Amino acid sequence: MSLTAYRTLGCSGLVVSPLALGTMTFGSGGWNADAPTARAIFDAYRGAGGNVIDTADIYAGGESETLVGQFIRDSGARDAVVLATKFGFNATATASGGGNPHAGGAGAKNIHRALDASLQRLGTDYVDLYWMHVWDGVTPVAEIVQTLGDLVRAGKIRYFGFSDMPAWVAMQAATIAAERHVPGPIAMQLEYSLVARDIEAEHLPAARAAGMAVMPWSPLAGGFLTGKYRRGATGDTGRLSGANPFGNSKFADRNWAILDVVKAVAGELGRPAGQVALAWAMAQPGVGSTLVGARTREQLDSNIAAATIRLDDDQLARLDAASAPTPGFTAALAAPAVRRLIFGGHDVAGW
Ligand SMILES: NC(=O)c1ccc[n+]([C@@H]2O[C@H](COP(=O)([O-])OP(=O)(O)OC[C@H]3O[C@@H](n4cnc5c(N)ncnc54)[C@H](OP(=O)(O)O)[C@@H]3O)[C@@H](O)[C@H]2O)c1
């Protein structure tokens, strides 16, 4: 597969590459790519045929959007690019509080403010895919659907999706939109990797039922699944080393055991571990386009090469077994033994 193996994002007409370029690393910051490096990453991704650029108003204090907007203008490819950005986090919050509550969340007032500011930084008059970055826990879902649908009708955004929310929120939005014959969410953006498979319980089935694609973020678990960190080592470099905003939650016994299997498969294929982790994410049912993040051009090149890997059934089975999430209530309900109890001992096939 290559980046030009285009497909639609969920049940929509938005045509996307199998890998999307995440630009959380673009702009100033300790673990970020400076402007020339960010441009090289952007150019390499576009050169490989990639068409989805994902940013957010909050990344590097808006600098990521500014750089992305500049690169797209310089490339003259606005029409060919799927430009995605996000609203929801509040840039005015301080440790002692006192920020503007209208500068975050999914209320209509903030969405309009946030979109106008993003469009200004991006230097464009529309966004292709507008994400609710995070669920705020209070705004009625009907209001979110109304506001984002109005923006579609106004031509300021083409599509919208939800990130980091309970599955029921996206499902309720899809249901309201379908009943009212108005635009609904086309995708979910969620953490998904071999060491973070929680979304398989509720989000993936909800996405499938509502025709939404899933776009995994942190498919390398912030770099952990590249295998560059060593257990118990202190001198490793990278985003997860030393003092960092992501903590060391990836360095768990369970994750090191998963990484061992990733490395074994990588050894069989003669490929880096990170490429195997990306290939696994891309191969999961329901995944529409997988976000790749990079701090250097070399990292991006390696990540793009993951698209050419096809894991065989045995390799997928070993990776799945090593990383299987603990079945919760929902997964237990779907067990074959429960179905047989319901259908008089028969294995009834579903649609
Ligand atoms: N919706 C959300 O809440 C949310 C949250 C997070 C991310 N995102 C999106 O998802 C995108 C990707 O997320 P992510 O950056 O967390 O993804 P990731 O792929 O899990 O981690 C990327 C990081 O891993 C390291 N890395 C990447 N490729 C590598 C390679 N080939 N070899 C060695 N190290 C490598 C780099 O960090 P170092 O070099 O510093 O180690 C890089 O910054 C973001 O850009 C953003 O667009 C969305």
Task: Look at residue 247 in the predicted model and tell me its pLDDT.
Answer: 67
Measured in angstroms, how far is the CA atom of residue 291 from the centroid of ligand 1? Answer: 8
Task: Look at residue 94 in the predicted model and tell me its pLDDT.
Answer: 75
Task: Look at residue 5 in the predicted model and tell me its pLDDT.
Answer: 96
Is 192 an active-site residue?
Answer: no
Query: Distance between CA 199 and CA 205 in Å, rounded?
Result: 9
* 100-to-59, 94, 224 alpha-carbon distances in Å: 19, 10, 36
Q: List the catalytic residue out of 6, 45, 59, 130.
A: 59
Residue to substitute in 220, 226, 250 for testing ligand 1 pocket (most ligand atoms within 8 angstroms of CB)? 220
Atom of ligand 1 nearest to the CA of 86: 1
Atom of ligand 1 nearest to the CA of 225: 20
Show the CA angle centred on residue 50, arms to residues 47 and 56, nearest 5°. Answer: 115
Query: Distance between CA 41 and CA 299 in Å, rounded?
Result: 9
Residue nearest to atom 31 of ligand 1 (CA): 299
Atom of ligand 1 nearest to the CA of 221: 20
Query: Distance between CA 212 and CA 163 in Å, rounded?
Result: 12
Query: Distance between CA 189 and CA 185 in Å, rounded?
Result: 11
DSSP string, 218-259: -TTGGGGGGT-S-TT-SS--STTSSS-TTTTTT--HHHHHHH
User: Which residue type occupies 254?
Assistant: R
- Going through the chain in order, the beta strands assigned E by DSSP cover 7-8, 15-16, 19-22, 52-54, 82-87, 127-132, 157-163, 187-191, 213-217, 290-292
Query: Distance between CA 206 and CA 184 in Å, rounded?
Result: 14
Task: Look at residue 145 in the predicted model and tell me its pLDDT.
Answer: 98
User: Which residue type occupies 129?
Assistant: L
pLDDT in tens, the chain (351 residues): 899 999 999 999 999 999 999 999 999 877 889 999 999 999 999 999 999 999 999 999 999 999 999 999 999 999 999 999 999 999 997 777 789 999 999 999 999 999 999 999 999 999 999 999 999 999 999 999 999 999 999 999 999 999 999 999 999 999 999 999 999 999 999 999 999 999 999 999 999 999 999 999 999 999 999 999 998 877 777 888 877 766 678 899 999 999 999 999 999 999 999 999 999 999 999 999 999 999 999 999 999 999 999 999 999 999 999 999 988 888 888 888 999 999 999 999 887
Contact 19, 27 (CB under 8 A): no
Atom of ligand 1 nearest to the CA of 241: 41
SS3 269: helix
Q: What is the DSSP letter of 193?
A: B
Residues touching ligand 1 (Cβ under 6 Å) are 22-25, 31, 54, 133, 163-164, 189, 217-223, 226, 228, 238-239, 274, 291-295, 299, 302-303
Query: Distance between CA 4 and CA 12 in Å, rounded?
Result: 18
Task: Look at residue 28 in the predicted model and tell me its pLDDT.
Answer: 87
Q: What is the CA radius of gyration of the chain?
A: 20
Tally Cβ neighbours within 10 Å of residue 283: 16
Measured in angstroms, how far is the CA atom of residue 24 from the centroid of ligand 1? Answer: 8
Residue nearest to atom 15 of ligand 1 (CA): 293
DSSP string, 44-75: HHHHTT--EEE--TTGGGGHHHHHHHHHHHHH
SS3 83: strand
Task: Look at residue 349 in the predicted model and tell me its pLDDT.
Answer: 87
Identify which of 129, 120, 63 has the alpha carbon closest to the alpha carbon of residue 91: 63
Assigned architecture for domain 7-325: Alpha-Beta Barrel (3.20)
Contact 305, 294 (CB under 8 A): no
* 76-to-35, 116, 297, 351 alpha-carbon distances in Å: 18, 22, 21, 45
